[in-house]
Amino acid sequence: MYQDITLKCKDCGKEFVFTAGEQEFYAEKGFQNQPQRCRDCRNAKKNATKPQRELFDAVCAKCGKPAKIPFQPTSDRPVYCSDCFAAMKAGE
Protein backbone atom coordinates (compact mmCIF):
# COMPACT_ATOMS: atom_id res chain seq x y z
CA MET A 1 0.00 0.00 0.00
CA TYR A 2 2.30 2.74 1.24
CA GLN A 3 5.88 3.13 0.06
CA ASP A 4 8.68 5.24 1.51
CA ILE A 5 8.87 8.70 -0.07
CA THR A 6 11.91 10.99 -0.05
CA LEU A 7 10.95 14.60 0.69
CA LYS A 8 12.96 17.82 0.99
CA CYS A 9 12.80 19.87 4.21
CA LYS A 10 11.55 23.40 3.59
CA ASP A 11 13.71 24.80 6.43
CA CYS A 12 17.13 23.17 6.09
CA GLY A 13 16.85 21.73 2.55
CA LYS A 14 17.98 18.22 3.57
CA GLU A 15 16.22 15.20 2.16
CA PHE A 16 14.35 12.97 4.60
CA VAL A 17 12.27 9.80 4.26
CA PHE A 18 8.53 9.85 4.89
CA THR A 19 8.22 6.16 5.75
CA ALA A 20 5.31 3.90 4.91
CA GLY A 21 4.59 3.58 8.64
CA GLU A 22 4.47 7.35 9.06
CA GLN A 23 2.18 7.63 6.03
CA GLU A 24 -0.17 5.06 7.57
CA PHE A 25 -0.15 6.99 10.87
CA TYR A 26 -0.95 10.25 9.03
CA ALA A 27 -3.83 8.54 7.22
CA GLU A 28 -5.24 7.12 10.50
CA LYS A 29 -5.15 10.58 12.06
CA GLY A 30 -6.81 12.11 9.01
CA PHE A 31 -3.86 14.32 8.06
CA GLN A 32 -4.13 15.41 4.43
CA ASN A 33 -0.65 16.89 3.84
CA GLN A 34 2.79 15.34 3.87
CA PRO A 35 5.30 16.73 6.38
CA GLN A 36 7.28 19.71 5.10
CA ARG A 37 10.09 19.57 7.65
CA CYS A 38 12.56 16.87 8.68
CA ARG A 39 12.35 15.48 12.21
CA ASP A 40 15.14 17.75 13.51
CA CYS A 41 13.50 20.91 12.13
CA ARG A 42 10.05 19.83 13.41
CA ASN A 43 11.49 19.31 16.90
CA ALA A 44 13.38 22.62 16.78
CA LYS A 45 10.22 24.48 15.72
CA LYS A 46 8.15 22.77 18.43
CA ASN A 47 10.70 23.49 21.17
CA ALA A 48 11.25 27.11 20.10
CA THR A 49 7.86 28.12 21.48
CA LYS A 50 8.31 26.37 24.83
CA PRO A 51 9.65 28.51 27.66
CA GLN A 52 12.88 27.18 29.11
CA ARG A 53 12.49 25.76 32.61
CA GLU A 54 14.75 27.34 35.17
CA LEU A 55 16.68 24.74 37.12
CA PHE A 56 18.10 25.33 40.59
CA ASP A 57 21.16 23.74 42.19
CA ALA A 58 20.61 21.67 45.32
CA VAL A 59 22.28 18.93 47.34
CA CYS A 60 20.51 15.60 47.81
CA ALA A 61 19.46 15.11 51.44
CA LYS A 62 20.06 11.34 51.20
CA CYS A 63 23.30 10.80 49.23
CA GLY A 64 24.83 14.31 49.21
CA LYS A 65 25.24 14.48 45.43
CA PRO A 66 24.51 17.72 43.58
CA ALA A 67 21.09 17.83 41.92
CA LYS A 68 19.25 20.12 39.50
CA ILE A 69 15.62 20.73 40.45
CA PRO A 70 12.81 22.73 38.77
CA PHE A 71 11.84 24.65 41.93
CA GLN A 72 13.54 26.95 44.43
CA PRO A 73 14.65 24.75 47.36
CA THR A 74 13.77 25.83 50.88
CA SER A 75 15.49 24.86 54.10
CA ASP A 76 12.34 23.39 55.69
CA ARG A 77 11.97 20.48 53.21
CA PRO A 78 14.54 17.89 52.04
CA VAL A 79 15.50 17.71 48.38
CA TYR A 80 16.50 14.45 46.68
CA CYS A 81 18.37 13.69 43.45
CA SER A 82 16.42 11.81 40.79
CA ASP A 83 18.06 8.46 41.69
CA CYS A 84 17.25 8.71 45.41
CA PHE A 85 13.76 10.03 44.69
CA ALA A 86 13.04 7.10 42.33
CA ALA A 87 14.40 4.61 44.89
CA MET A 88 12.23 6.09 47.64
CA LYS A 89 9.17 6.05 45.38
CA ALA A 90 9.78 2.40 44.39
CA GLY A 91 10.15 1.44 48.06
CA GLU A 92 6.66 2.72 48.93
* Strand ranges in 1-92 using DSSP code E only, listed in sequence order: 5-8, 15-18, 56-59, 66-69
Residues 43, 71 within the same domain: no
Residues 44, 10 within the same domain: yes
- Structural domain including 63 reads 56-91
> d(Cα 35, Cα 72) in Å, to the nearest integer?
40
Residues 9, 28 within the same domain: yes
> Would you say residue 92 has pLDDT above 80?
no
> Would you say residue 23 has pLDDT above 90?
yes
Q: Is the pTM of this model over 0.75?
A: no
pLDDT at 14: 96
> Would you say residue 25 has pLDDT above 90?
yes
From first CA to last CA, the distance across the chain in angstroms is 49
